Amino acid sequence: MSLSRRSFLGGMTVALAGTRLPAATHELILAPQSIKAHLAGYDVSMLGFNGGLPGPEVRMRQGQTARITLDNRLEEGALVHWHGLRVPNRMDGVNVLTQDVVIPGDSYRYQFGVPDAGTYWYHSHYLSYDQVSRGLFGAFIVEEQNAPAVDHDIVVQFFDVLLDQSGQYDEAFNPAHFATEGRIGNTVTALVFNGTGKTVKRGDRLRLRLINPSIDRVHRVGLDGLIGKIVALDGMPLAHPRTLEPILLAPGQRCDVIGDATGPIRFDDSFGEQTLSLGEIAVSGSREPAKAPITALPANRMPAPKDPGQTAELVLQGGAGSASHNGTGTWALNDVSGLPRRPFLSAAQGTTARISIRNETGFPHVMHLHGHHFWELDAAGEAGPYRDSTYLDTGETRDILVVLDNPGSWMLHCHMLSHQADGMATWIRVG
Ligand code: C2O
Ligand code: CU
């Protein structure tokens, strides 16, 4: 009821502004199934939504309502999580906390509004370390009511997979993957989707939406052939666009870049010891570059933080070579592995909470909170970017500030999915 009313009002605003009036709802079916994917020159047996890896790009206008049917054509359970979108709790796609697993042959209807413009993604949230690594993910784009003028809007997903000698998904089980930096693949590809299919010319203005759907691999993405700015992180606009330099993208994180092409756009990854080349966007022909400066994207409506009504500490523990803890898994949060019976934090709706996260392990992690974005605080307590996932290197501590305005039970976990699978997950209760 309130959803359709909101999208009606959203539609009115658009009509008054004189731009195209989008349909109030966006309907689609997402059917996870076995597929053959073309990766690194091999035909690999993988999983995909609607026959593809990545799954279809979902693209909506801010203020619309999504009606998405999950049609499970797998031989195992399925669930879809809308990563970074502030959806009602029962639409969040998390078994145990928000819904039951959808069994093979069954379907489930998700319906939610998209209040925030930006670059998000969707992925399996059931046995996700396995299902996401086999291909169950896709981009979820919410366009601004007044999007900046660009010639191309291109989604690039940096996907890492472990293939065996014969070029098939490596089925070997290696317990060491769960206790270290995770299951790092040997094949990293930039999956590029240019919706318009128009050739990119030198001088064209591009919006690149970079997504890291890899289960465990952190990318540090360098871009060649583009002069521009970083305009958003984890979907949310930066008030002050940043200079374009290599971008740290931990699993689950996103980054939007706007810039003008000066040549073929090449992506590389300098996170590891050697720099990997990830792929490129070809360029042909040229034109005069646009003169308009690259400015901040229109802000999303963010809640106003108050003085923290609640503070909490979250200690990341476990993994190879670190001190023991009291959890039953390899990894633990505050001495508990996996979802505890009681939430890590319980707060009345609207509470501002300050959470101090301390990484006591020998590996980096990326902590993701469902249903909310939060501010990363710097050492002086100043608010940095408004994100849904925060990266912590070994030994690092970071405080985050979050307005817990979305009622329900929300997962908080490491988005290195092998770590999540082996204990690094907890939850927050709001309202
Ligand atoms: Cu991107 Cu709990 O997930
Ligand atoms: Cu982790």
Question: Does 411 sit in the ligand 1 pocket, CB within 6 Å?
Answer: yes
DSSP class of residue 234 equals T
184 alpha carbon – ligand 2 mean position (Å): 13
Query: Selecting from 2.60.40.420, 3.40.50.300, 2.60.40.1840, 1.25.40.10, what CATH number does the domain 5-286 have?
Result: 2.60.40.420
Look at residue 195 in the predicted model and tell me its pLDDT. 86
What phi and psi values does residue 85 have, to the nearest 5 degrees? -85, 135
State the amino acid at position 314 in one-letter form.
Answer: L
Q: Whose CA is nearest to atom 1 of ligand 1?
A: 83
132 alpha carbon – ligand 2 mean position (Å): 16
Spans in the chain with pLDDT lower than 50:
1-18
| 3-class secondary-structure state, position 17 | helix
Look at residue 291 in the predicted model and tell me its pLDDT. 84
Look at residue 20 in the predicted model and tell me its pLDDT. 55
* Residue ranges covered by each domain of the chain: 5-286, 310-430
Question: Does 81 sit in the ligand 1 pocket, CB within 6 Å?
Answer: yes
Q: Whose CA is nearest to atom 3 of ligand 1?
A: 83
| Domains 5-286 and 310-430 belong to one CATH topology | yes
The two beta strands, 331-333 and 219-233, are unpaired
Question: Does 419 sit in the ligand 1 pocket, CB within 6 Å?
Answer: no
What phi and psi values does residue 3 have, to the nearest 5 degrees? -60, -50
CATH number for the domain running over 310-430: 2.60.40.420
The model carries a pTM of 0.94
Indicate the burial class of 243 (C-beta count within 10 angstroms; 0-12, 13-18, 19 or more): exposed
Question: Does 254 sit in the ligand 1 pocket, CB within 6 Å?
Answer: no
365 alpha carbon – ligand 2 mean position (Å): 4
Q: How many residues does the chain have?
A: 431
pLDDT digits (tens, 9 = 90+) for 336-376: 999 999 999 999 999 999 999 999 999 999 999 999 999 99
Closest by CA to 119, choosing from 240, 26, 209, 220, is 209
178 alpha carbon – ligand 2 mean position (Å): 10
Closest by CA to 56, choosing from 29, 23, 85, is 29
Tokens of 382: 């100043």
125 alpha carbon – ligand 1 mean position (Å): 7
